[in-house]
Amino acid sequence: GKPVPWLGHCLAGAAASVCTSFVYTPSECVKNRVQAGLYTNSWSALYHIVAKEGPIQLYRAWPAVVLRNVPQSIVKFFAYEQLKLLVVRCRGRDPTTGEMLAIGGFAGASGALFSTPFDVVKTRMQTQVGKRAQMSLRKTMGSLVAREGVLGLYRGVVPRLFIYLSQGAIFFTTYEILRSGLYKLEEVDALRRSPDEIDAKS
Protein backbone atom coordinates (compact mmCIF):
# COMPACT_ATOMS: atom_id res chain seq x y z
CA GLY A 1 0.00 0.00 0.00
CA LYS A 2 0.92 3.67 -0.05
CA PRO A 3 3.52 4.52 2.64
CA VAL A 4 2.40 6.69 5.53
CA PRO A 5 5.25 9.17 6.27
CA TRP A 6 4.12 10.13 9.77
CA LEU A 7 3.60 6.54 10.92
CA GLY A 8 7.32 5.78 10.99
CA HIS A 9 8.03 8.88 13.08
CA CYS A 10 5.26 7.98 15.54
CA LEU A 11 6.40 4.37 15.92
CA ALA A 12 10.05 5.40 16.28
CA GLY A 13 9.11 7.94 18.95
CA ALA A 14 7.02 5.37 20.81
CA ALA A 15 9.80 2.76 20.70
CA ALA A 16 12.37 5.30 21.91
CA SER A 17 10.05 6.26 24.77
CA VAL A 18 9.82 2.66 25.96
CA CYS A 19 13.60 2.22 25.81
CA THR A 20 14.42 5.47 27.64
CA SER A 21 11.80 4.74 30.31
CA PHE A 22 14.10 2.13 31.87
CA VAL A 23 16.64 4.87 32.64
CA TYR A 24 14.21 7.72 33.09
CA THR A 25 11.91 6.05 35.65
CA PRO A 26 14.42 5.56 38.51
CA SER A 27 16.03 8.97 37.99
CA GLU A 28 12.59 10.60 37.98
CA CYS A 29 11.70 8.77 41.19
CA VAL A 30 14.80 10.11 42.95
CA LYS A 31 14.23 13.63 41.59
CA ASN A 32 10.61 13.72 42.73
CA ARG A 33 11.48 12.52 46.25
CA VAL A 34 14.09 15.26 46.61
CA GLN A 35 11.79 17.95 45.19
CA ALA A 36 9.02 16.87 47.55
CA GLY A 37 11.37 17.51 50.47
CA LEU A 38 11.53 13.86 51.53
CA TYR A 39 15.33 13.78 51.22
CA THR A 40 18.06 16.40 51.20
CA ASN A 41 19.90 15.23 48.08
CA SER A 42 19.82 12.66 45.30
CA TRP A 43 22.36 10.26 46.83
CA SER A 44 20.48 10.20 50.13
CA ALA A 45 17.21 9.55 48.30
CA LEU A 46 18.68 6.75 46.20
CA TYR A 47 20.30 5.07 49.21
CA HIS A 48 17.20 5.17 51.42
CA ILE A 49 14.82 4.07 48.66
CA VAL A 50 16.96 1.03 47.83
CA ALA A 51 17.75 0.19 51.47
CA LYS A 52 14.27 0.67 52.97
CA GLU A 53 11.89 -0.03 50.08
CA GLY A 54 13.97 -2.19 47.76
CA PRO A 55 15.34 -1.53 44.26
CA ILE A 56 11.96 -2.42 42.72
CA GLN A 57 10.53 0.76 44.23
CA LEU A 58 12.57 2.78 41.75
CA TYR A 59 10.55 1.15 38.96
CA ARG A 60 7.12 0.98 40.60
CA ALA A 61 5.84 3.88 38.49
CA TRP A 62 7.24 2.41 35.25
CA PRO A 63 3.78 1.55 33.83
CA ALA A 64 2.66 5.15 34.39
CA VAL A 65 5.84 6.47 32.75
CA VAL A 66 5.26 4.31 29.67
CA LEU A 67 1.56 5.23 29.52
CA ARG A 68 2.60 8.87 29.67
CA ASN A 69 5.57 8.86 27.29
CA VAL A 70 4.33 6.59 24.49
CA PRO A 71 1.05 8.44 23.77
CA GLN A 72 2.85 11.76 24.24
CA SER A 73 5.42 10.84 21.58
CA ILE A 74 2.77 9.57 19.17
CA VAL A 75 0.56 12.66 19.54
CA LYS A 76 3.56 15.00 19.33
CA PHE A 77 5.04 13.52 16.15
CA PHE A 78 1.64 13.05 14.50
CA ALA A 79 0.67 16.69 15.15
CA TYR A 80 4.07 17.88 13.94
CA GLU A 81 4.00 15.93 10.67
CA GLN A 82 0.39 16.84 9.88
CA LEU A 83 0.84 20.55 10.58
CA LYS A 84 4.03 20.68 8.54
CA LEU A 85 2.25 18.94 5.66
CA LEU A 86 -0.64 21.39 5.95
CA VAL A 87 1.71 24.35 5.54
CA VAL A 88 3.36 22.76 2.49
CA ARG A 89 -0.02 22.11 0.86
CA CYS A 90 -1.45 25.56 1.63
CA ARG A 91 1.66 27.66 0.96
CA GLY A 92 3.38 25.52 -1.67
CA ARG A 93 6.69 25.67 0.21
CA ASP A 94 8.45 24.40 3.31
CA PRO A 95 7.59 26.12 6.62
CA THR A 96 9.63 29.18 7.60
CA THR A 97 11.58 29.27 10.86
CA GLY A 98 8.75 31.17 12.54
CA GLU A 99 6.19 28.65 11.31
CA MET A 100 8.40 25.79 12.50
CA LEU A 101 8.55 27.33 15.98
CA ALA A 102 4.75 27.53 16.05
CA ILE A 103 4.27 24.01 14.67
CA GLY A 104 6.81 22.48 17.05
CA GLY A 105 5.36 24.35 20.01
CA PHE A 106 1.82 23.25 19.24
CA ALA A 107 2.92 19.65 18.71
CA GLY A 108 4.81 19.59 22.01
CA ALA A 109 1.92 21.15 23.92
CA SER A 110 -0.57 18.71 22.36
CA GLY A 111 1.43 15.72 23.52
CA ALA A 112 1.78 17.19 27.00
CA LEU A 113 -1.95 17.90 27.34
CA PHE A 114 -2.85 14.37 26.28
CA SER A 115 -0.41 12.73 28.71
CA THR A 116 -0.82 14.94 31.79
CA PRO A 117 -3.12 12.53 33.72
CA PHE A 118 -0.50 9.78 33.69
CA ASP A 119 2.22 12.29 34.58
CA VAL A 120 0.24 13.26 37.69
CA VAL A 121 -0.34 9.61 38.62
CA LYS A 122 3.34 8.84 38.05
CA THR A 123 4.41 11.67 40.37
CA ARG A 124 1.98 10.56 43.09
CA MET A 125 3.25 6.98 42.87
CA GLN A 126 6.86 8.09 43.17
CA THR A 127 6.34 10.44 46.12
CA GLN A 128 4.01 8.30 48.24
CA VAL A 129 5.41 6.88 51.46
CA GLY A 130 4.18 4.37 54.01
CA LYS A 131 1.25 2.14 53.00
CA ARG A 132 0.44 4.32 50.01
CA ALA A 133 3.91 3.62 48.62
CA GLN A 134 2.71 0.16 47.58
CA MET A 135 -0.41 1.29 45.72
CA SER A 136 -0.68 0.21 42.08
CA LEU A 137 -1.27 2.55 39.15
CA ARG A 138 -4.98 1.71 39.07
CA LYS A 139 -5.44 2.22 42.82
CA THR A 140 -3.41 5.44 42.81
CA MET A 141 -5.50 6.87 39.98
CA GLY A 142 -8.74 5.74 41.62
CA SER A 143 -7.77 7.25 44.96
CA LEU A 144 -6.75 10.52 43.31
CA VAL A 145 -10.03 10.84 41.39
CA ALA A 146 -12.07 9.92 44.49
CA ARG A 147 -10.39 12.62 46.61
CA GLU A 148 -9.85 15.39 44.04
CA GLY A 149 -12.16 14.61 41.15
CA VAL A 150 -11.22 14.14 37.50
CA LEU A 151 -9.66 17.62 37.42
CA GLY A 152 -7.11 16.34 39.93
CA LEU A 153 -5.55 14.41 37.04
CA TYR A 154 -4.70 17.74 35.43
CA ARG A 155 -2.92 19.39 38.34
CA GLY A 156 0.06 21.37 37.06
CA VAL A 157 -1.14 21.19 33.46
CA VAL A 158 -0.50 24.89 32.71
CA PRO A 159 3.23 24.99 33.60
CA ARG A 160 3.64 21.59 31.94
CA LEU A 161 2.12 22.95 28.72
CA PHE A 162 4.52 25.89 28.74
CA ILE A 163 7.49 23.57 29.30
CA TYR A 164 6.64 21.25 26.42
CA LEU A 165 5.51 24.09 24.15
CA SER A 166 8.96 25.68 24.39
CA GLN A 167 10.70 22.31 24.24
CA GLY A 168 8.80 21.27 21.11
CA ALA A 169 9.42 24.60 19.41
CA ILE A 170 13.17 24.45 20.05
CA PHE A 171 13.55 20.72 19.35
CA PHE A 172 11.75 20.54 16.01
CA THR A 173 13.08 23.86 14.70
CA THR A 174 16.67 22.91 15.57
CA TYR A 175 16.16 19.51 13.94
CA GLU A 176 14.86 21.05 10.70
CA ILE A 177 17.64 23.66 10.55
CA LEU A 178 20.37 21.05 11.08
CA ARG A 179 18.80 18.65 8.58
CA SER A 180 18.53 21.40 5.97
CA GLY A 181 22.17 22.36 6.60
CA LEU A 182 23.36 18.78 6.15
CA TYR A 183 21.44 18.42 2.89
CA LYS A 184 23.05 21.60 1.56
CA LEU A 185 26.52 20.34 2.49
CA GLU A 186 25.84 17.09 0.63
CA GLU A 187 24.68 19.03 -2.44
CA VAL A 188 27.81 21.22 -2.39
CA ASP A 189 30.01 18.13 -2.02
CA ALA A 190 28.27 16.47 -4.97
CA LEU A 191 28.80 19.55 -7.15
CA ARG A 192 32.50 19.65 -6.28
CA ARG A 193 33.08 16.08 -7.34
CA SER A 194 34.33 15.73 -10.91
CA PRO A 195 32.50 13.56 -13.48
CA ASP A 196 35.46 11.14 -13.43
CA GLU A 197 35.08 10.61 -9.66
CA ILE A 198 31.36 10.04 -10.01
CA ASP A 199 31.89 7.51 -12.83
CA ALA A 200 34.59 5.72 -10.84
CA LYS A 201 32.29 5.25 -7.85
CA SER A 202 29.23 4.26 -9.86
Domain 5-191 belongs to what architecture?
A: Alpha/alpha barrel (1.50)
Question: Of 93-97, 108-112, 126-130, which has the strongest mean pLDDT?
Answer: 108-112
Q: Where are the domains of the chain?
A: 5-191
- Which residues, 6 or more positions from 179, have their beta carbon under 8 angstroms from its beta carbon? none
Q: Indicate if the pLDDT at residue 111 is higher than 90.
A: yes
103/182 Cα distance (integer angstroms): 22
d(CA 194, CA 20): 45
Low-confidence winner among 2-16, 70-84, 94-108 (lowest mean pLDDT): 2-16
- Is 201's pLDDT higher than 70? no
**pLDDT tens digit string along 56-78?**
999 999 999 999 999 999 999 99
C-beta of residue 168 within 8 angstroms of C-beta of residue 102: no
Distance CA 55, CA 57 (A): 5
- The whole-model pTM stands at 0.81
Task: State the average pLDDT for the chain.
Answer: 89
d(CA 66, CA 136): 14
Long-range pairs for 53-57 at CB < 8 Å and ≥24 separation? 53/133, 57/29, 57/133
| Local confidence band at 197 (pLDDT 50, 70, 90 cut-offs) | low
Per-residue pLDDT reduced to its tens digit, 115-134: 999 999 999 999 987 776 77
Q: Mind listing the pLDDT tens digit for each residue in 128-173?
A: 877 767 788 999 999 999 999 999 999 999 999 999 999 999 999 9
- The whole-number average pLDDT for the span 34-52 is 94
- Res 196 pLDDT > 80: no
